[in-house]
């Protein structure tokens, strides 16, 4: 069994913890959750033998914690991936992972297709667009969507800056696409009325589209928590893909 720790006992961290307890990651055992209110630190998780830590806190917290965790030889699945918009931080993370013999595994999020994005990025002409589909204002709920400029298209890093607390997906997708210079962010109103995200890929050989459409009710973003659990399975199960 692989020992797993979680940082952050909020919405997503709790979903990951419950999923592990329910046996959705059958090769994994939960050793603890780091939480400020419970007084449990990431170092406590490492002391309990955690081999992989799922981070579900805040980008600022990830920036503080990640380097020492990786240097201690523990790999991390981060959900606060917006932290990687900071090139200096990302470089420090790479060095820490090399030093500790550990890795950062970016989760595939709600729209996924990062395997395809990484493959497409190896061929000349590779570029990709992360699209947020917003339904008309009168049908929207939440506040951040109202602030997003429908019709916007720009480089991924510039797009991320529109709403850094809600656009982690742009950063992790851009990294899968092969770098910020190859990735764009676009905000569209969907002709079919379906809100969500899409990843549009192209290179000199082919084009591909992966689109995730939200259903009414549960928040589609909770799928990022399940993508961390599926990442745990890819890392620990004897047959993977």
| Candidates 34-42, 183-191, 203-211, 230-238; binding stretch for ligand NAD (CB under 6 A) | 34-42
Q: Which residues pair with 201 in a beta bridge?
A: 128, 208
> In the Cβ-directed half-sphere of 2, how many Cα atoms lie within 13 Å?
23
Nearer to ligand NAD, 27 or 115 (CB): 115
CA distances from 219 to 12, 78, 110, 150 (A): 11, 19, 10, 21
Region binding ligand NAD by CB under 6 A among candidate stretches 19-27, 123-131, 132-140, 163-171: 163-171
**Does residue 13 bind ligand NAD (CB under 6 A)?**
yes
Residue 157 burial class via C-beta count within 10 angstroms: exposed 0-12, middle 13-18, buried 19 and up: middle
Q: Is 87 exposed, middle or buried (0-12, 13-18, 19+ CB in 10 A)?
A: exposed
What mask of x and - would describe binding to ligand NAD in positions 102 to 141, judged by CB under 6 A? Answer: -------x--------------------------------
By the 8 A CB rule, do 27 and 43 touch? Answer: no
| Secondary structure letter of residue 35 according to DSSP | B
Does residue 76 belong to the site contacting ligand NAD (CB under 6 A)? Answer: no
- Contact call for residues 55 and 66 (beta carbons, < 8 A): yes
Q: Is 69 in the site for ligand NAD (CB under 6 A)?
A: no
Residues recorded for the chain: 241
For the CB of residue 62, give the shortest distance to ligand NAD in the complex, in Å. 7
Total interface residues for ligand NAD by CB under 6 A:
25
Minimum Å gap between C-beta 142 and ligand NAD is 13
Q: Which of 224, 229, 232, 235 binds ligand NAD (CB under 6 A)?
A: 224
The reply on whether position 12 binds ligand NAD by CB under 6 A is yes
Give me the residues that bind ligand NAD (CB under 6 A), please.
7-13, 34-36, 56-59, 61, 79-81, 109, 165, 168-169, 172, 221, 224
């Amino acid at each position: 069994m692989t020992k797993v720790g979680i940082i952050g006992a909020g919405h997503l961290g709790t979903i990951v913890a419950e999923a592990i307890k329910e046996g959705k990651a059958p090769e994994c055992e939960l050793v603890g959750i780091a939480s400020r209110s419970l007084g449990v630190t990431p170092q406590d998780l490492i002391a309990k033998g955690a081999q992989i830590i799922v981070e579900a806190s805040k980008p600022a917290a990830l920036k503080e914690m990640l380097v020492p965790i990786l240097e201690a030889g523990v790999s991390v699945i981060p959900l606060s991936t917006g932290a990687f918009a900071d090139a200096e931080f990302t470089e420090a993370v790479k060095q820490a992972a090399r030093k500790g013999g550990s890795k950062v595994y970016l989760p595939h999020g709600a729209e996924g297709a990062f395997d395809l994005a990484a493959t497409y990025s190896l061929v000349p002409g590779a570029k990709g667009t992360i699209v947020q589909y917003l339904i008309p204002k009168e049908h929207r709920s939440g506040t951040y969507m109202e602030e997003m400029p429908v019709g916007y298209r720009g480089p991924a890093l510039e797009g991320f800056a529109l709403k850094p607390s809600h656009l982690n997906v742009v950063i992790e997708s851009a990294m899968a696409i092969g770098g910020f210079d190859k990735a764009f962010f676009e905000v569209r109103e969907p002709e079919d009325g379906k809100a969500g995200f899409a990843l549009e890929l192209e290179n000199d050989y082919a084009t591909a589209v992966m689109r995730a459409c939200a259903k009414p009710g549960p928040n589609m973003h909770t799928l990022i928590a399940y993508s961390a659990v599926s990442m745990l399975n890819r890392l620990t199960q004897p047959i993977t893909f």
